Structure 1
Amino acid sequence: MVKTVHSYCTLLHANPRQESDRMATKTKPRKQREGWGRVRKLPSGRFQASYQGPDIAVHNASTTFQTMTDARGWLVTERQLIDAGKWSPPKSRATLQRAETLAAYAEPWLANRTLKPRTRDLYQRLLDQKILPDLGPLPLKGITPLTVRTWHATLDLDHPTRRAHAYALLRTILGTAVTDGLISSNPCVIRGAGQTKREHKIQPASAADLDAIVAALPERYGCMVLLASWCAMRWGELVELRRSDLDLKNGKVKVRRSAQVVNGQVVVGPPKSDAGVRDIAIPPHLIPVIRAHVDRFAGWGREGLVFPAAQSGQQLAHGTFFKTWDAARKASGRPDLRFHDLRHTGAVMAAQTGATLAELMGRLGHSTPAMAIRYQHVAQDRDQEIARRLSAMVVTK
């Protein structure tokens, strides 16, 4: 035994490097830890990359990589998408990348958008009627600026607003395709094509016009017209107004919901925007009119509709009211006045009191100054009043 140990020690001192190499072959190389995600070598010799996404699920690359550097590069790209807020699961992106035509891409694009029911309905109709019949069968990469210009040149020439909406929708869809890496640039480059110009020149109603229209309407509708004008409320906000939304003691109407007609069905939801949720101060002269209307025509209980349909007691139907409205506006001598123009009337009257732009935005429920400015108009004879006040500033000696 002593001889055997002596022999081993002699051999070790004689060739220490050989023993060190032998021990090294028994130790597996330590795996390098990834900074984010995971890369592992497969039996085939290729590399697989994976990571835990913002949805807490583990996501693998849709393909394997020849080198570890390529696998890590994929992880870096995925992390950049997460940090930029543009991430979606790799499998869903791979599905989009396999979409060969605009029609195949547009369907999941619309399905995955968070939209209000009326907006979704509008987008679907624009796709079905204006965009996909001509451009739907084309490959995404085959849609060029020339293709878009040719399509736009004959698109709905008699309806410029609808034409602008269709172009803007196509531009948005193809902009997402650029973000998804399916096309290198957006072919929608026609300057101003997505902007709308007002087709209807609005002449706000005067106080005399309002009196004449209210007189021509059935009594149950007069209060609605007055609130639409003096409080600048939308049609959808009025037909969904409940008793509990009226605070007549403090002279306020609370706007919390709006009703819209989508595919012939009434859909109740939040107002048009976050700014649409608001409390509107009611001009004091309307308080007695509103009280009298509520006592006679409103539904029962705190949640009773303020302007219910006469027969059903449910939301007032758009078509039922507007037959009556059309007759009243013609009888008053203002056949051009649309119901929505009453909102413009309210904006003009508020502006004439000296309200600031911010105050107008709050009253009308707008989130941007540009939208509030669209509702301001020069009232008839207002320029003469300005000229008179300018003269009054002159001090005569």
Structure 2
Amino acid sequence: MAERRDFGTIRRLPSGRYQATYIGPDLGRHKAPSTFEKRDLAVVWLRNEQRMIEDAVADELRWVSPEERLAASRRKAEPKVRFGEYGAKWIVERRNSKGEPLRALTRKDYELVLAKYLVPTFGDRPIDQITRADVRTWHTKVGTAAPRTRAKAYGLLRAIMNTAVDDELIAASPVHIRGAGAQAIKRKVEPATPAEIELMADAMPPRLRASVIISAWCALRYGELAELRRKDIDVKRQLIRVRRAVTFPPGGPVVGPPKSDAGVRDVSIPPHIWPVVEEHLKEYVRPTPDALLFPSEGRGHIWHSGMNNYFSKARTAAGREDLKWHDLRHTGATLAAQVGATTAELQARLGHSTSVAAQLYQHAAKDRDRHIAERLSRLVDGT
């Protein structure tokens, strides 16, 4: 039978032991983490609990229930999970939105950032002992890194600690620095003109001349271009079937799907460059369906660094030392926007999964505003 008191209730169990419970400030019933051999021990426990509630009210502190205190004591008794080990495990077990493991290049990139920028500071630290002050101090010290690298390191740290919250290793993430995850504003790119595209293409080795023209006018990513094979060119419809891409992690090229599901697409080849593509297929591509369009001298995939060795001379010949290879894709997207491609059309042509990236290319080109102004005037003139 239960014995009601001014504070709490004591009940004798069939086993002869005593159970103590009480209604807490949260209006929930809480019981002692264990039963008591003697009634007096149950009374002492209730008195201590009552005193803890009174002290919390008097000091305006948050009252902690016995269940929370028990959980905290168990966590302290458990072996400490160290950040370095947890971070490495996080990378291995990480899955994308489709439940797939990280791609080799992404995984390697995470591993490098973890080893160089996070482990030296947090590697041996128990993950539940990393504080906001620790994170702020680390972020200040890593300030010497390039802005994009610094943002990438912060983003990885935040993602790992957010997962630690989900795994109930910590109550809340200590990674909260306003603006720290934002990357620096990207450099402004002046798209190449059609004449500059031609000059750069002519300055490339003959077997790679078409690579510049296709990259610029079809706006392909480098990994998509480097994996193009004869079977990917639809001669009848004059289009490129983008179905794969190659990445270059340490250890060698890895062929996989394009960057996103939207990257699987058909890209129409502008009629004025089709003769260039046709000639390239005839002169430089082996007749087998799996023959690469732009292989290295060893007939394998040509690494980005290898292509850049040729492109650096080509861009100098065109007076465009400011251009990077990826800017050819930017050029193609901008040219498509200039001739009236809608955001949806750009998104499809470029293989973007969202419209945000496609909208970046719908910026004004040189003298474009003057053309708009002149067209507005024609409305008044009735022409």
TM-score, normalized by length of structure 2? 0.76
> Aligned pair 1:189/2:176, yes or no?
yes
| Equivalent position of 1:261 in the other structure | 248
Aligned-partner residue type, residue 379 of structure 1: A
**Alpha-carbon shift at residue 395 of structure 1 (Å):** 2.4
Question: Contact 1:241 / 1:307 at 8 angstroms: preserved in 2?
Answer: yes
Alpha carbons of structure 1 residues 154 and 384: separation in structure 2 relative to 1, 3 Å: farther
Residue of 104, 126, 130 corresponding to 2:85: 104
Q: Alignment partner of 1:155: what SS?
A: helix
| Equivalent position of 2:321 in the other structure | 335
Root mean square deviation of aligned Cα = 2.0
Question: Contact 1:299 / 1:313 at 8 angstroms: preserved in 2?
Answer: no
Q: Alignment partner of 1:337: what SS?
A: coil
Question: Contact 1:178 / 1:185 at 8 angstroms: preserved in 2?
Answer: yes
Aligned-partner residue type, residue 91 of structure 2: L
| Equivalent position of 2:291 in the other structure | 304
Unmatched runs of 5 consecutive residues or more in structure 2: 1-32, 36-74, 95-100
Question: Contact 1:248 / 1:287 at 8 angstroms: preserved in 2?
Answer: no
Question: Contact 1:299 / 1:308 at 8 angstroms: preserved in 2?
Answer: no
Q: Alignment partner of 1:305: what SS?
A: coil
> Aligned pair 1:385/2:366, yes or no?
no
| Equivalent position of 1:228 in the other structure | 215
| Equivalent position of 1:292 in the other structure | 279
More divergent stretch after superposition (98-107 vs 133-142): 98-107
**Alpha-carbon shift at residue 105 of structure 1 (Å):** 1.1
> How many residues align structurally?
304
Aligned-partner residue type, residue 150 of structure 2: R
Q: Alignment partner of 2:175: what SS?
A: coil
Distance, in Å, in 2 between the alignment partners of 1:301 and 1:192 is 52
Q: Alignment partner of 1:393: what SS?
A: helix
Aligned-partner residue type, residue 389 of structure 1: R
Deviations 1:226-253 (A, max 9, x none): 1111111011111110111100211210
Question: Contact 1:254 / 1:280 at 8 angstroms: preserved in 2?
Answer: yes
Distance, in Å, in 2 between the alignment partners of 1:222 and 1:368 is 32
Question: Contact 1:164 / 1:195 at 8 angstroms: preserved in 2?
Answer: yes
Distance, in Å, in 2 between the alignment partners of 1:304 and 1:249 is 19
Q: Alignment partner of 1:154: what SS?
A: helix
**Alpha-carbon shift at residue 390 of structure 1 (Å):** 1.9
| Equivalent position of 2:380 in the other structure | 394
Aligned-partner residue type, residue 287 of structure 2: W
> Aligned pair 1:274/2:261, yes or no?
yes
Aligned-partner residue type, residue 193 of structure 1: A
Question: Contact 2:198 / 2:213 at 8 angstroms: preserved in 1?
Answer: no
**Alpha-carbon shift at residue 318 of structure 1 (Å):** 2.5
Aligned-partner residue type, residue 320 of structure 1: G
Question: Contact 1:156 / 1:162 at 8 angstroms: preserved in 2?
Answer: no
Question: Contact 1:344 / 1:376 at 8 angstroms: preserved in 2?
Answer: no
Q: Alignment partner of 2:192: what SS?
A: coil
Q: Alignment partner of 1:280: what SS?
A: strand
Quote the sequence identity (%).
44
TM-score, normalized by length of structure 1? 0.73
Q: Alignment partner of 1:254: what SS?
A: strand
| Equivalent position of 2:55 in the other structure | none
Aligned-partner residue type, residue 245 of structure 2: S
| Equivalent position of 2:342 in the other structure | 356
Alpha carbons of structure 1 residues 280 and 98: separation in structure 2 relative to 1, 3 Å: farther
**Alpha-carbon shift at residue 199 of structure 1 (Å):** 4.1
Question: Contact 2:204 / 2:311 at 8 angstroms: preserved in 1?
Answer: yes
Residue of 150, 167, 175 corresponding to 1:163: 150
Q: Alignment partner of 1:192: what SS?
A: coil
Unmatched runs of 5 consecutive residues or more in structure 1: 1-64, 68-93
Question: Contact 1:236 / 1:260 at 8 angstroms: preserved in 2?
Answer: yes
**Alpha-carbon shift at residue 156 of structure 1 (Å):** 4.2
Q: Alignment partner of 1:394: what SS?
A: helix
Report which of the two structures shows the higher radius of gyration computed on alpha carbons. 1
Deviations 1:74-114 (A, max 9, x none): xxxxxxxxxxxxxxxxxxxx9xx745221121121111122
Aligned-partner residue type, residue 304 of structure 2: H
> Aligned pair 1:326/2:312, yes or no?
yes
Distance, in Å, in 1 between the alignment partners of 2:147 and 2:176 is 18
Question: Contact 2:267 / 2:349 at 8 angstroms: preserved in 1?
Answer: yes
| Equivalent position of 1:370 in the other structure | 356
**Alpha-carbon shift at residue 265 of structure 1 (Å):** 1.2
Residue of 120, 124, 127 corresponding to 1:140: 127
Deviations 1:21-75 (A, max 9, x none): xxxxxxxxxxxxxxxxxxxxxxxxxxxxxxxxxxxxxxxxxxxx989xxxxxxxx
Alpha carbons of structure 1 residues 274 and 98: separation in structure 2 relative to 1, 3 Å: farther
